[in-house]
Structure 1
Amino acid sequence: MKKSLLLVLLSSLALPVFAADCPALLQGELPKLRSKEVINLCEQYAGKPLLVINTASHCGFTKQFKGLEALHQKYKAQGLEVLGVPSDDFKQEADNAEETATICYGNYGVTFAMTATQVVTGDSAIPLFRELAAQSSAPRWNFYKYVVDRQGKVVESFSSLTEPDDEDLAAAIDKAIASKP
């Protein structure tokens, strides 16, 4: 009975309630790019293999969006989710969400989930990226890639130099897909 009362009280405060089995990596919500909607990370990604990328619209690696979309299309039937997180930490993100959205959706045809611009490095990093850094390493530049298994554990991380069609990245994705929830 006490647990029910606590849940009622928390819901009345409009605080998100996370399932006990939700991994630390997925505890939280992020606003979608150019939307009033939010992505509840636990609801959307718990139990699924995930590829997380910190992105920037005006970076030399921005052309990787095309390959990341190809990965999304190749692996989505096997359950892989892809999450792009724009960041201006390296001073290469567009000044507004509209321009970011045009570059991602219009120029590169991205259909995977994209968030609004976030901080991904240092003490001010969002919880998702603090946990990614704790499990592997913080991004040192744009287009760092993190492959996460079904338990919310980083399988492997990859630098910006790793192209989306890299065979080691594909092997890590295969390992994440094969993992048990």
Structure 2
Amino acid sequence: MTSTLYDIEFQTAEGETTTLDAYRDKVVLVVNVASKCGLTPQYADLQELQRSYADRGFSVVGFPCNQFNGQEPGTDAEIQEFCSTTFGVDFPVFSKIEVNGEGRHPLYSELAEAQDAAGEAGDVQWNFEKFLIAPGGTVVSRLRPRTAPSDPEFVALIEENLPA
């Protein structure tokens, strides 16, 4: 899993092909996001993490997904506008993808192999599931959707994995 995460291609919100290669030496928090979900206020905590740790080798990256009750129905441009104006998001929010099922994006095929605290891997349960990736590509934590990004134990894990 660790050698391929940085090579998997996906689209920016502007339609350009990219990878996570630029984040190879950073701690990355990958989150499937949605604008019309009860958990959408987590954008504020995600942005606070980005603000607090970006200069120390950390980045949140968001992947909009409309697979959970159609809670991300907008276009990529509408999603960008919502994130920016509603929550002041300045971390990358990429093009909409699928995280489960036959159309699951290859990035999430790899991430779905990571286990959560209960030892369970597999499908993403809902919007705002979080995968923490250490520099070099190892998934060090998988947080289910209801765990807030500001959870003290999780923040400590981010700090523990920041590059020296």
TM-score range, shorter chain: 0.7 to 0.9
Partner Cα distance (1:98, 1:129) in 2? 22
Q: After superposition, what is the alpha-carbon deviation per residue over 1:40-73, rounded to whole angstroms, capped at 9, x for unaligned?
A: 222x111221100000111011111111000001
In structure 2, the partner of 1:156 is 141
State the AA in 1 paired with 2:41: K
1:30 aligns with 2:10: yes
The higher relative CO (CA closer than 8 Å, separation ≥ 6) is in 2
Q: Counterpart of 1:114 in 2: which secondary structure? A: coil
Larger C-alpha radius of gyration, 1 or 2? 1
Deviates more, 1:65-74 or 1:130-139: 130-139
Shift of 1:151: 1.9
1:126 aligns with 2:111: no
In structure 2, the partner of 1:109 is 88
Deviates more, 1:98-107 or 1:113-122: 98-107
Q: Kindly report structure 1 stretches of 4+ aligned residues shifted beyond 6 Å.
A: none
Q: Among residues 36, 52, 55, which one is paired with 1:74 in the alignment?
A: 52
In structure 2, the partner of 1:54 is 32
**Structure 1 residues without counterparts, runs of 5 or longer:** 1-21
In structure 2, the partner of 1:14 is none
Greater helix content? 1
Partner Cα distance (1:72, 1:39) in 2? 20
Shift of 1:159: 1.3
- Give the TM-score normalised by the residue count of structure 1: 0.80
Q: After superposition, what is the alpha-carbon deviation per residue over 1:69-89, rounded to whole angstroms, capped at 9, x for unaligned?
A: 000011111101210000011
* Matched-pair contact (CA < 8 Å) for 1:89–1:119: yes
In structure 1, the partner of 2:132 is 147
- Give the TM-score normalised by the residue count of structure 2: 0.87
Partner Cα distance (1:175, 1:130) in 2? 26
Alignment length (residue pairs): 156
* Matched-pair contact (CA < 8 Å) for 1:25–1:127: no
Shift of 1:177: 1.3
**Structure 2 residues without counterparts, runs of 5 or longer:** 116-120
Q: Among residues 135, 144, 153, which one is paired with 1:168 in the alignment?
A: 153
State the AA in 1 paired with 2:8: G
The alignment-based identity, stated in percent, is 31
Computed over aligned residues only, the root mean square deviation of the Cα atoms, in angstroms, reads 1.7
* Matched-pair contact (CA < 8 Å) for 2:15–2:95: no
Shift of 1:162: 1.1
Taking the TM superposition and a 5 Å limit, the aligned residue runs for 1:86-101 are 86-90=64-68, 91-101=70-80
